[in-house]
Amino acid sequence: MKRILVLALALLLGAAFGGARSLSAQQPRSGAELETAVKALSAELRCPVCQGLSLKDSPTELSMEMKSVIRQQLAEGKTPEEVKQYFVGRYGEWILMEPTPQGFNLLVYILPWVGLALGGMLVFFLVRRWTRPQPDPLAALAGAPAPTEARWPED
Amino acid sequence: MNWRRVLLVLAGILPLVALLAFGMTRDPKELPSVLPGKPAPEFTLNVLDYAGAPAAPKPTVSLAEHRGEVVVLNYWASWCLACRDEHRALSEVAERYAGQGVQFYGLLYNDTPQNGVEWIRAMGGQSYPTLLDPNSRTAIDYGLYGVPETFFIAPDGRVAHKHVGPVTDQVLTEWIEKLRAQPQREAE
């Protein structure tokens, strides 16, 4: 049982990190391909003058200008990662909608799964206890000691 | 009372409470800047031209020309209310340090030149030149969050400090004096 839990946790973690890394270093240059890349990247960057909005979702002028900076840099052949680093170099890690999975930030990625695993284990053990076969009621009627009494013979 | 169980539950809850308590001590509105210590992003920008403007040596200004001087960059806009509060302090301190190796520049952010000129007139003038930043490219280069923000650039071309919100005479004087006292070294 433990092994299955560990395996499941490992798989989930792998999926989480794999998903975060999936934005590959493709180099889009123009047209629709470029626009798709601009959209994808602007969804990962925070709008500096908004509350919790990404550049993609923000209609402010600064966001528009930042999006055109993204478009320009991607068209020049920079990778999405390089463009991200340009903004991180100016605004800091704060500009990323998702914190990078490093150091203290790792807590954000790991804690939910740990919580899920602990909760799952709790439910598992509780359900097992609740569904444990009850002692035969006929045997109790026949004068056999109740299970609680049986466990504490000195009482 | 089962003490082992109590301890177990506490061991589970306390770290979480500690983590959340740590979170409460952090200010979500704090605006971090990674620029201090780094070379200031270069720019070449046009000077805002209007009748009565302070004399600028050239119609365009490059930051690189001011290596060896303390540069104070103040981002402002005519629609920015807090910029009115700091205007007098900026103009006065700039005047006090004129010709002493300290250069002030305003940078007009997300605004039209015409609105900028009208604002300067309404405020009774500005003692230093303001530069135009079309498409906010320089603002983005400086990691600007909003206006007003003031950057202090050391003689070696590094950003020494960023002040968010209206700046005061005291803050300006303190940083300028600190930077003027610094031994000059070349930026890498």
Per-residue pLDDT tens digits for A111-140:
899 999 999 999 999 999 999 887 766 666
Query: A81 and A25 in contact (C-beta within 8 Å)?
Result: yes
Nearest CB among B19, B140, B145 relative to A69 is that of B140
- Distances, alpha carbon A103 to alpha carbons A35, A109, A112, B86, in Å: 33, 11, 16, 40
How far A138 CA sits from the closest chain B CA (Å)?
Answer: 33
How far A33 CA sits from the closest chain B CA (Å)?
Answer: 24
- A59 at B interface, C-beta within 8 A: no
Q: Is the pLDDT of residue B184 over 80?
A: no
Q: Specify the higher pLDDT residue, B186 or B161.
A: B161
Domain boundaries along the sequence of chain A: 26-98, 100-131
pLDDT per position as a tens digit, B4-25: 889 988 988 898 899 889 888 8
Superfamily of domain A26-98: Cytochrome C biogenesis protein (1.10.8.640)
- The pLDDT, as a whole number, for residue B44 is 96
Q: Which residues of B14-29 are buried (b: 16+ CB within 10 A; e: fewer)?
A: eeeeeeeeeeeeeeee
**A:B CB pairs within 8 Å:** 45
Q: In chain B, what percentage of residues exceed pLDDT 90?
A: 72
- The pLDDT, as a whole number, for residue B58 is 81
> Taking residues B116-130, what's their average pLDDT?
95
Whether residues B145 and A49 touch (CB distance < 8 A) is answered with yes
Lowest mean pLDDT among A15-29, A33-47, B80-94, B116-130: A15-29
- B141 at A interface, C-beta within 8 A: yes
Window 149-188 of B, Cβ < 8 Å to A = none
> Taking residues B98-125, what's their average pLDDT?
95
> Can you give the pTM of this predicted structure?
0.74
Nearest to B33 by CA among B161, B172, B176: B161
- The pLDDT, as a whole number, for residue B40 is 95
- Rg from Cα positions in chain A: 28
User: Which residues are paired to B158 by β-bridges?
Assistant: B39
Which residues in chain B have Cβ-Cβ distances shorter than 8 Å to A61?
Answer: 110, 136
- B20 at A interface, C-beta within 8 A: no
Q: In chain A, what percentage of residues exceed pLDDT 90?
A: 46
Q: Is the pLDDT of residue B134 over 60?
A: yes
What does the alpha-carbon distance between residue A61 and residue B147 come to, in Å, rounded to a whole number?
14
| pLDDT-derived band at B1, boundaries 50, 70, 90 | low
Q: Is the pLDDT of residue B116 over 50?
A: yes
- The pLDDT, as a whole number, for residue B25 is 87
Q: Give the residue on B whose Cα is nearest the Cα of A63.
A: B140
